[in-house]
Amino acid sequence: MTASAERWREALAAWAIPDEILSRATRSPWELPVGRFAARADDAVAHPSGWSHDRAGSGLQAGGSILDVGAGAGAASLPHVARVGRHGLVTAVDSSPAMLEAFAAAADGRVQHAEVVGAWPGMAATVDVHDVVVAHHVAYNVADLEPFVIALTSHARGCVVVELPPRHPMSWANPLWEQFWDLRRPTSPTADDFVDVVRDTGVRDLVVYRWSRRDPDNTPLDERVSLVAQRLCLPVDREPEVRQALESMPPANRREVVTVAWAGRA
């Protein structure tokens, strides 16, 4: 393991929820709302834009193929269906069967598609090479980043395109952890740390682009309050306090993101 990969793993481990807090949770803080991911995918298909989309699209043509790692409901890959056409192939990899069901429902009748349940790169050997590989907003879930990146590179004929926020996606909630649990959360790893790991794997033609994307959060406040309380390991009876805190920090309509792209080696 490279020094950069070891730093990434140690920094990410610091984000673990302490056992004394986790043991008091009445709901799993890790449960993902499939409907919210599906809505994001629908919005991405309706408004395909951004540097990540353009970079991946430049490596695709009619009948081409795209592999979406950590696909969720397909926000990174389904916007390219119009380019690859009905004879193209989109393969989604995700550890959540429910997410892949949402992806398949959106892809049906529009493109050839395949779903693979599992965590990358553990099942990478079962997945074919594709023209383009994308992995959006999944990097901060990966502790052993070096083999993850190497497997992305080996499965792309053309390019790999990874999108991630500049900081951990739960960084915005750091003040809430301090407010409700007197818990100071980490400030690393960052997108710069991710780039260091990618560079140290020896990739070619590495490009890093920092930008912001339109990201309106249309989630009803009640639903958002419930989700945030769940993530904070708080019971339902603390939700009024969470609501008050969220009302003082309304969601932004744009999201800062970093696109990291490099050449594949397949």
State pLDDT tens for residues 96-151. 999 999 999 999 999 999 999 999 999 999 999 999 999 999 999 999 999 999 99
- Tell me whether residue 38 is exposed, middle or buried, using C-beta atoms within 10 angstroms of its C-beta: 0 to 12, 13 to 18, 19 or more: buried
pLDDT value at 200 more than 90: yes
Domains contained in the chain, CATH given: 3-169+186-221+252-263 (3.40.50.150)
- The predicted model gives 244-256 an average pLDDT of 85
Q: What are phi and psi of 128, to 5 degrees?
A: -75, 165
Structural tokens at position 15: 């984000």
pLDDT value at 251 more than 90: no
Handedness of CA 100, 110, 123, 76 (dihedral sign): negative
Least confident window among 140-144, 178-182, 253-257: 253-257
Quote the mean pLDDT of the chain.
95
**What pLDDT, on a 0 to 100 scale, did the predictor assign at position 218?**
72
**What pLDDT, on a 0 to 100 scale, did the predictor assign at position 216?**
66
Residues with Cβ within 8 Å of 260's Cβ and at least 6 positions away in sequence, in order, are 161, 162, 163, 164, 191, 194, 195, 198, 206, 207, 208
What is the three-class DSSP state of 211?
strand
pLDDT value at 250 more than 80: no
pTM to 2 decimal places: 0.95
pLDDT value at 222 more than 70: yes
- CA distances 141 to 88, 108, 225, 246, 261, Å, are 29, 28, 23, 25, 19
Local confidence band at 249 (pLDDT 50, 70, 90 cut-offs): confident
